[in-house]
Amino acid sequence: MRDQAIRERVVQLCLDLSRQGFLAGTGGNVAIRTDDDHMAVTASAMDYHRMQAADVCVLRLSDLQKVDGEQTPSVESSLHARVLKARPDCRVSIHTHQPVASACALLGQSITVYDPMLWASVGAIVPVVGYAPSGTGWLASKLAAAIRPDRNAYLMLNHGVLCCGPDVDAAQRTVEDLERVCQRHLGERIAARATTDPARREPLQRVLSLLAHEPQHKT
């Protein structure tokens, strides 16, 4: 089996993200660059707690041709390939449906990151990529158009999140930092609405309370 160590790292990363609540069941997917021309990507529709290294697929970045692996590669492989080709500084690409950031992705608005300490991890702006159906080249093209060297986190409208980084630890930290950024952003929006809409203040305050108790997802 080629690239065994990297494929094992894909499995471990998925388990870590699952334990943190960022991946669930078969949702989301992960890719790690194996060399300049290939990536290891999760299998399609496979529970992360059942996935083995041999299930992880190795694909050519240029045409997504599978060169090793026992399963069908993720339908979102083109998303990861676009990121890794556009960002040669990045080795890891993570697509999640993490709860708070995915809620923000439904709002369709970019997010300003006010904490300069998070700019290296997330970026000063978290842009929104316009909607396209999951697993399509159309979605991959929309994401590719938004990629910038100083942005490591992207919201995909009505879909979820894409984060990238130079290594596993950095990419995972971006996922965690993005969730914190989105908790603050969504909390501020809800608090403002509660102030201007007295009829909905009580249910909105309950939502704020739940949001405040969301785990901080520290590794």
Number of domains in the chain: 1
Q: Is residue 217 part of a domain?
A: no
Is the confidence at residue 219, as pLDDT, over 60? no
Q: Which residues pair with 66 in a beta bridge?
A: 59
Beta-bridge partner residues of 43: 73
Which CATH number fits the domain that encloses residue 175? 3.40.225.10
pLDDT at 209 over 90: no
The pLDDT, as a whole number, for residue 216 is 54
Write out the two tokens for 121: 């991890």
Q: Are 30 and 46 in contact (CB under 8 A)?
A: no
Consecutive H or E run containing 8: helix 4-19
- Indicate the pLDDT class of residue 182, thresholds 50, 70 and 90: very high
20 belongs to a structural domain: yes
Cα–Cα distance measured from residue 168 to residue 31, given in angstroms and rounded to the nearest whole number: 10
pLDDT digits (tens, 9 = 90+) for 35-51: 999 999 999 999 999 99
Query: In this predicted model, what pLDDT tens digit does every residue of 140-167 receive, in sequence order?
Result: 999 999 999 999 999 999 999 999 999 9
Domain that holds residue 49: 4-212
> Does residue 208 fall inside a structural domain?
yes
Cα separation, 113 vs 116, whole angstroms: 7
Asked whether residue 219 is assigned to any structural domain, the reply reads: no
The answer as to whether 84 is a domain residue is yes
Q: What is the pLDDT of residue 208?
A: 67
- Is 218 contained in some domain? no
Other Cβ atoms less than 10 A from the Cβ of 196: the count is: 8
